Structure formats: structure tokens, C-alpha cells
């Protein structure tokens, strides 16, 4: 982890250009990323101060073949895309998560109560609580963090912004609290449970798996 202001300086100096090429692939899209990252970090600093941060990116996804067959014990081909949820994150030493996504109000979740909240259904707070609850059920000691996110995985675009958000929370929690011990499929299952049980939306596992693996995937759902 590095101070947010130092990360800005390193981005502007081109320190992470090779990483950006690996993540975004398309040259026309890569050109815009340094400015996008810097703007996100500057907003994080304005909200939470110049803390030590980590940066996470999780992609949207597109099905190639087999839409909805994940519900029907079938085969699916899907792939991540180079549109993503990008977040700056810092642990805060409390039991409270502060999460703000660009253009949306601040979400605050008290992790001392990880039970499903009926009033939170279909909100970002439900996804935060659901993902963190599943990490705790897996045997890890979780804690609070501050997060600011921007996304070009547009809601309603069919690229599964909700799955990208769930995986973003899972990846951050996995690194901050689980020593990166959870693999991509496990994180996908955690995201699906948060969406099904806490958010209140039935879904198969295709969206979360494609986002979590971050590549093209072939999945056999014969055994759910």
C-alpha cells in the first residue's frame, strides 16, 4: 500500500503503463486510463484524506453463448470485457464500511450486524453486507474500509455492473482480510450469494464467474 498522493505521482510518471496495457488491451482505451485513475484517487483523497491505498479493477462481462443456461444446468461461454469497476480502497481500523461510487450517495454499512436487512434490498449496502458476511462465514476476521469507485460498466447495459461490483468488493475483502486465499470461483460464489440473498435478485453464476476470472471462460453447470 502507498499514500494516495504518491500513487498519483507514479501514475503521472508512467510507472504503471505496462499494467494498464495488460488490463485494458485496447490502445484507444489505455490512453484515457491515467487521467481516470488520477481523478478517482483525487476524489478518494477529498472524501477520506491522503491515506495509504490499494487499487482494484473488476470487469464487466458479455455472454458469448448460453445466456441463462446457467439457471438450467447447461453450458456457458462468457468473457470479461475491458470496461470495469475501478476502486481506491483503504482499511480504516473500524467495523464500518464507507463506499461511494461516482454519481451515487455515500453508502455506510456497520459490519457488527451482518444479517440480511429487508430495507436494504436492491441497494449497494446489501451487496456490501452480503459479501462481507460471506467472507466472515468462510472463517476470516473482517473489518471496515473506505472505498471510492468509478465505473464505465453502465447499469442496464447487459454487461453486468452488479456482478462487477460484487466481485470488486470480494477482491478487496480477499486481499485486505483473507490473505488472498480465496480463488476466483469462490469469489464468484460469494458474489452470487450476496446478489441472491441480500440484494434479492435471482441470478445464475455466469456473470460473477466471468468477472472474477477476468478472461474467457467455459462453464458446465450440470451440477449446481
Residues designated as active site: 207
The values of phi and psi at residue 11, to 5°, are -60, -45
Sign of the dihedral defined by the CA atoms of residues 207, 213, 217, 223, in that order: negative
Q: Distance between CA 202 and CA 196 in Å, rounded?
A: 5
DSSP, residue by residue, 29-97: HHTTHHHHHHHHHHHHHHHH-S-EEEEEEEEEEEEEE-TTGGGTT-EEEEEEEEEEEEEEEEE-SSSEE
Q: Are 132 and 126 in contact (CB under 8 A)?
A: no
Residue 199 per-residue DSSP state: I
Show the cell assigned to 9: 505521482
Show the cell assigned to 114: 451482518
Amino acid at each position: 500500500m502507498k499514500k494516495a498522493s504518491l500513487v498519483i505521482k507514479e501514475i503521472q510518471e508512467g510507472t504503471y503503463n505496462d499494467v494498464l496495457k495488460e488490463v485494458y488491451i485496447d490502445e484507444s482505451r489505455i490512453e484515457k486510463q491515467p487521467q481516470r485513475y488520477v481523478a478517482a484517487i483525487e476524489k478518494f483523497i477529498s472524501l477520506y484524506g491522503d491515506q495509504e491505498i490499494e487499487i482494484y479493477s473488476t470487469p464487466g462481462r458479455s455472454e458469448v453463448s448460453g445466456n441463462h443456461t446457467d439457471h438450467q444446468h447447461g453450458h456457458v461461454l462468457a468473457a470479461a470485457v475491458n470496461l470495469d469497476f475501478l476502486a481506491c480502497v483503504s482499511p480504516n481500523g473500524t467495523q464500518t464500511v464507507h463506499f461511494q461510487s461516482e454519481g451515487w450517495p455515500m453508502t455506510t454499512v456497520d459490519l457488527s450486524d451482518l444479517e440480511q436487512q429487508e430495507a436494504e434490498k436492491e441497494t449497494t449496502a446489501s451487496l456490501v453486507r452480503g459479501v462481507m458476511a460471506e467472507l466472515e462465514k468462510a472463517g476470516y476476521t473482517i473489518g471496515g474500509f473506505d472505498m471510492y469507485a468509478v465505473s464505465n460498466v453502465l447499469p442496464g447495459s447487459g454487461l453486468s455492473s452488479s456482478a462487477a461490483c460484487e466481485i470488486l468488493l470480494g477482491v478487496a475483502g480477499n486481499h485486505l482480510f483473507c490473505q488472498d486465499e480465496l480463488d476466483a470461483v469462490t469469489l464468484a460464489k460469494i458474489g452470487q450469494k450476496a446478489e441472491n440473498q441480500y440484494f434479492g435478485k435471482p441470478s445464475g453464476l455466469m456473470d460473477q464467474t466471468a468477472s472474477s476470472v477476468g478472461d474467457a471462460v467455459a462453464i458446465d453447470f450440470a451440477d449446481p
